[in-house]
Amino acid sequence: MTEHDLELSFVVPCHNEEGNLNPLTDAISAAMAPLDIPYEVIISDDCSTDNSWEILKKIAQVDSRIRVQRFKYKCGESAASWAGIQASRGRYIITLDADLQNDLSDLPMFLDALKRYDCVCGSRVTTRRKGDSFVCIVSSRIANWVRNKVLGENTSDSGCTYRAFRRACISKIRFFRGGHRFLPSLFKMEGFTVTEISVKNNPRFYGRSHYRTWSRLFNSFIDLWGMWWIKNRLIHYEIIEAIN
């Protein structure tokens, strides 16, 4: 299969998810089977300390559509996501977590919305109680409110990394640590259209969250002010006439 044959690329960052990897790839395969769309799965292992990499190698040996890569040292979710995006070849890119909280049954809604928008973002606002703790829900709502106020946005769930977008969206993006939270804003700054759809939020069945509430809030605050600076310093111009 050549690069031009691929319609979808699933991009998944991974760190210590050994119990979720086989169910995840099985879920992607089951969701794609009735759609008859050429696809690939790129999983970037962020230097896991459990058995994730050994499992990924075995999965990739069985299914050539699954491509895996491993970092030499731990770089974080943003780096793992960006490395997967850079390695992807599909016309459309779908990012999701490895923890199975993102539900593959929502995939048709993303594909339908992509007919009208450049980027489709999942929102867990109405479903978070099924998969997250009360503290996590409250901290997320506060963070989203602050981000929207500072950036002049209306994104209801910027922390949800379950997204689908056209490859063209990343053509001019300069990524940074923490940038996965701000992809919709970065796309809008480049003139692309962005929408949200409500998605399911499954409970985590294996492993534990890699984020701690206070460290996440602090790091997000630093990233937010960086985004504010970028947005306010961005050069805008429109050529009305040119000769020769």
Question: Which range has the worst mean pLDDT, 5-14, 54-63, 146-155?
Answer: 146-155
CA–CA gap between residue 49 and residue 60 (Å, rounded)? 19
Question: Encoding tokens for residue 42?
Answer: 């790129």
Q: Evaluate whether 193 touches 168 at the Cβ level (below 8 Å).
A: no
pLDDT at 66: 97
In this predicted model, what pLDDT tens digit does every residue of 64-99 receive, in sequence order? 999 999 999 999 898 999 999 999 999 999 999 999
What single-letter DSSP state applies at residue 210? S
pLDDT at 106: 96
Q: Report the predicted TM-score, pTM, of the whole model to 2 decimal places.
A: 0.79
Q: Which has the closest alpha carbon to 148: 181, 113, 111?
A: 181
- Indicate the helix (H) or strand (E) that contains 112: helix 107-113
Mean pLDDT throughout 45-59? Answer: 96
CA–CA gap between residue 113 and residue 206 (Å, rounded)? 31
pLDDT at 229: 67
pLDDT at 52: 97
pLDDT at 212: 53
Backbone angles phi, psi at 122, to 5 degrees: -75, 145
How far is Cα of residue 119 from the mean position of the Cα atoms in its chain?
11
CA–CA gap between residue 164 and residue 110 (Å, rounded)? 6
- 49's CB contacts (< 8 A; 6+ apart) are 16
Indicate the domain borders of the chain: 3-233
- Give the number of residues written for the chain: 244
**CATH of region 3-233, choose from 3.30.70.1280, 3.90.550.10, 3.30.70.1170, 3.40.50.300:** 3.90.550.10
CA–CA gap between residue 44 and residue 11 (Å, rounded)? 8
- 76's CB contacts (< 8 A; 6+ apart) are 46, 177
